[in-house]
Structure 1
Amino acid sequence: MNTAERDTNPRIVIPQAEPVLVETGNVTKKVRRRALLQNVSFTVERGEICGLLGPNGAGKTTLIRAMTGLIRPDSGDIRIGGRSVVREREAAVLHVGAIVESPIFFPYMTGRDNLDNLALLHPNLPTRKEREQRVREVLEIVRMDKRADERVKTYSLGMKQRLGIAQALLGDPELLILDEPANGLDPMGIRELRELILRLKHELGKTVLVSSHLLDELQKICDRIVVIREGEQVFAGSREEMIGRHSSLEEAFVEMMTS
């Protein structure tokens, strides 16, 4: 084959995914005259763990509700995987899994039965075989497979949180959003949660947005930090940029909140 013939052959180009998975642009949400969010803008790249920080009432859960399409911002936009949550909600959130506040399950049913019922509602799992296989997979991921056939009412808080993460993983999402997942957990439960989040990143390539008041834990796992105070974004950048000249994330955060 001569050079001319080789050059006329079609070339297969495999498109590369954009590095930015989440992009919020000037997101604003008001209730009456109070601004719950005001011009919040940041990005999260694929494969990152992003910590969402702020005091109680800062607007963290409001932002998470907007990112998951549960509420609509008054202005601005949120794009996930290039899709607008405002204009293309169904397509944008199809590959998002979330725990907003505390996961709720039927306590008289087993963990597996709860997930089986939830899998029935997921558009990414159209067949019974796919649903059963995915339920088995997520139970193994969160290491609940050995307790899956026990009733949820017998579970500890940490086990319920892991079952909640299993629920959020059912559709094999690119982005996992966790709202205060460590609330009420004892030190062992917090450690297990930390290890699970790191495994989701390193072994499964998940992108995770997690809000928490446990700054020591976020310092151990986060690549990126976003800080909100009274609805306004006061910082967005890498963990190292956030800590800066301070000895810890906690010290940097306290100074930021009191300055």
Structure 2
Amino acid sequence: MPELTVDLERDTETDAPFSRVCALTELSATTPGTGRYLGTIDKIWTVGKKVHGGTMVAASAAAATNWLRASDSALTAMAPIAASSDFLGAPVPGEVEYEVRIRKVGRQICLADTTLIQDGRNLVRTAFTFGHLDDADPLYAQQHGDMPAEPPADAVGYESGSAMGSIVNVGKGAELYIDRAWARFLDGEQAEPRLRLWMRPRAGDQRDPDVSMYFAMMSADMSPPVPMNLGHFGWAPTVQMTTYLRRRPAPGWLRIIATTHEVGGRMFDEDQLILDSTGAVVAQSRQLALIPQR
């Protein structure tokens, strides 16, 4: 399958590049009772040469949502509140297919599995739990008032030609900044394995409530591996990742806080917490990954 040819500098504030990831075409199912969709992930949704993991999870969520709604119109209010993903291989930018199977339909909870397929190979398998998003004020919420709602003047951008933008192409599809005060690896120093970022979708990607929801899920995999602050650089393959969607984000900047419980000799865990412009928790993720070796 040929790679897509995309002008990485073309997207503007009025474009909706993430909407194109979520725009799926229904195909004829090869197995009765399954949904099948065709989509495209272009080169701006990559880290290095590899398709960004969070983007694949979010696009798989779009496919599962489409099929669940098509199967029963009474389920349109449900959203993918949890996703458990296993990465079996690394797709290249271009066309991909999504196969969806519904495992359970209930009044409060529905279950569905999505497999991302490219060139006949199953590459990402995600089990989704659907339910109703939290639309009430929380009984308790941890405060994160020390993180500014918007990137400060010394935040490091991911624009083309920058240290981060030369690797993380996702910065060409959205506004993305990392907190220099926490990302000490940028100055050749070591520090606590924790990172903070700010991310904002393009204007067009904020207009569609569903795309905005999928964007929040994607952003829960946006932080660099936190062992970089300990001097471990390179690819950190994800062993398994779980993503939670709590509520639809308000328009504006998303705040991303990445922490860890332990960085071991072989593996590390990384939690990412996503706050919207109001300070509400909109998404979370936890993943187990292999530590890059020095």
**TM surpasses 0.5:** no
Q: Kindly indicate which of the two structures has a greater share of residues assigned to helix.
A: 1
Q: Determine which structure has greater relative contact order: mean sequence separation of CA pairs < 8 Å that are 6+ residues apart, divided by chain length.
A: 1
* TM-score, scaled relative to structure 1: 0.26
* TM-score, scaled relative to structure 2: 0.23
Q: Kindly indicate which of the two structures has a greater share of residues assigned to strand.
A: 2
